[in-house]
Structure 1
């Protein structure tokens, strides 16, 4: 099978030392396709409303490089000294005088002084040549979809179109997103429903939201396949950060829908109630949209000083050690489509305290689930976990990539297990 794989998002992430959840999915799909000798992979990217082919030999090296850097095999941290300060703060016998916090991102200049590595990647494609013939187009990164031209052209060519929709949050909860993101994502989802042959979703909840959107908008409903996302190899039992003082971890972009201002208000109350026995909190994630309230807490609250820490970029190696050593991973989000860190925590056997929302009920039913606005309930759960280390259920069956790709293979007409052995074709 000849598959056009949309690599637009991965190419735009070339300079990142730490991936987002969607980035991980895009990389996993690229590796899966390249591993199958019964698939010829044709990497493409979007350019001005159409798709252009990316040089195959370069793409193969690019994927190998991303895996190496995102696995932490190289020095994946943007600031190794920052990681060292974070570990020193957590392992100190007494509460440090100051928190360890990544500086907020600098404003993006209107005209970068030099071409970045990301910019240069866009010259690794053939701008003029027509797309090679193919059987199927696969898009798992939401890129290119806001403009219907590429999907429409593929439909006209008789190429099957398969799209993975991660969530509908910008449409259903635009208040948590950048201005304009709701309209843009509305177009992505509507174009997908109009022109995709079939759609993959990461949870039954996302599938329900997609069908509700299609019904409300009067749009076609292609076949929808629910395939829970798999986990990276690092997110299994292993070495943990050892500390004398208990700590908790939140993993995810610092943005409004993650409910972190609420969480930090709880931490201030915990500090007032527990004094020197109050646990530490580590926020692992990049600064996102509408993070001012979180920054105000981190930078100005004397109650949180030396108690709450934040790190924007850490390698998978350190991230998993931090999660394993925590009393619990916290996931107080107001809304999610899948919530990969919550699933990763349970896969590692780490206790999880999470908001009582549909994706958590679907994916982590044995976690401690609390309404995302129930302040007293959250305080009681964290205080109990601080004083008595909780034990997570060992019966959790984590979703995995082989299971995910079995569903995808069936959906697109490939054998669940590749019938051949040998090196990947097509690059």
Structure 2
């Protein structure tokens, strides 16, 4: 992790995503569970992911650059057989790929290849900025993965926004539009958070007062009245005072969404309960919809003139060590959960860095470090997830991410 720091301002006041914290020993919680809570398929998935992350490969992708209209991949392979470059979009699981669907044959052991950045897939103009890349050896029934996958290292930026320099350690959590907004000045804060629940303003079909936003060849609709009253007002006031605001990105389950059809698209297929869901990244349609939300938000809130205010940082979901309640995707083993979580972080990062190359993506955790934060959250601790995020960054390429404690 290049830059792990604690966003201390989140501690001060977290209005809409707070919970009472009860600490309990991780080991004691595990002792109370006699049988594994995970199904056999997830257990096997966990073992396969861990084997992939821990394996040493002789072949390597060394750099991936997403330029304005193309993607450049540099790598090398060794050995006998037919080798090819394979593309793994977020909606495919690298462990489950038997015959890579998107591949480019290689004839030189050291290669530098440039591909079109945008490709037509199932009615979507897919942006390869979101993909990771690996080397495969061609097989009869199954292609053999012979390198770790590598995420995008360099991202073409449309514009260059200045960084917001913090002038004090004081911050405010969960800012909202109200009559006390002048307190921004009185409190002398330099940072803040704001809850941004994309399922509260995004629709699949147009409604009165909506803004149309096209991404990936598909059009989505955003409630302009909601944006102006609930997001623009506090963000503009913060921008006037040069306050760095971090958006806490939340996704509601379908039953709570303003548009249940959009909710069904974004709700994780294994969601069971909880206030929020892990976003669904198992289909191209869902990935495009999720990516479209970030593209819209970054385009609106990362502009040189701050016309709607500015989002400087992006906090991915809420207290994910309490994922049972706050980012639910069912009861999953640690690596299976983290594999999905880092996909969500990467989608946000890759898109917003086009609009603001100063932007950072932050993982959201409770204050508990090596203990379970709540007796009902017995799956894993903050440290376990963060350690695994570091493993993914080391194996598949690092990016500018940090840690937010709420």
Shorter-chain TM band: under 0.3
TM-score by structure 1 length?
0.23
Choose between structure 1 and 2: higher strand proportion.
2
Choose between structure 1 and 2: higher helix proportion.
1
